[in-house]
Amino acid sequence: MISKNIANKKQRIKYLMAVVLTIFLGLASRKFAHQLIPFIAENAGDVLWAMMVYFGFRFLFVRKRLFTAILFSFLFSFGIEFSQLYQEDWINQLRGTVVGALILGKGFQMVDLIRYTTGIILAAGLDKVTLTLKQPPNPKN
């Protein structure tokens, strides 16, 4: 039981580091957008945001399967995007702040759903590859 808790803690640290790194990359992609290839500058923020969401759910549900984080990431990301169709003063005031705009977005765009899908798939693929590479081989008895 103790070794399982230590393994879970190590996994959580890994995902927390991934969240922090992804936030850093996302903010950098906005700050240095003028120095990036236009395609990257236009799409990186939303792709990285979705990756951060995925890593956040992996942090919260470290003992669950990859599919759980993928499912929750899609529900959350798409839910936020579709919530942008809702336009009331109180939520638009939230969206008018820097943090509100980063979390809630500003307006519905269908292309964002493609960007979120790309980010979630990239994060899950990266997660799967790193998990596969780090697993010790099964000893044959």
* Cβ-contact 98, 106 below 8 angstroms: no
Q: What is the DSSP string of 118-139?
A: HHHHHHHHHHHHHHHHHSPPPP
- In this prediction, residue 124 carries a pLDDT of 98
Q: How confident is the model at residue 1 (pLDDT cuts 50, 70, 90)?
A: low
Q: Which residue type sits at 82? A: F
* The residue type at 2: I
Whole-number pLDDT of residue 105:
85
- Residue 52 confidence (pLDDT) above 60: yes
The whole-angstrom separation of Cα 56 and Cα 45 is 16
Query: What percent of the chain lies above the pLDDT cut of 90?
Result: 78
How high does pLDDT run on average in the chain? 91
- Please check the confidence at residue 36 and state whether its pLDDT lies above 80: yes
Closest CA to 126 of 37, 29, 58, 44: 58
For 110-132, what is each residue's pLDDT tens digit?
999 999 999 999 999 999 998 76
* Band of residue 106 on the pLDDT scale cut at 50, 70, 90: confident
- State the pLDDT at residue 141: 46
- How many Cα atoms occupy the beta-carbon half-sphere of 139 within 13 Å? 1
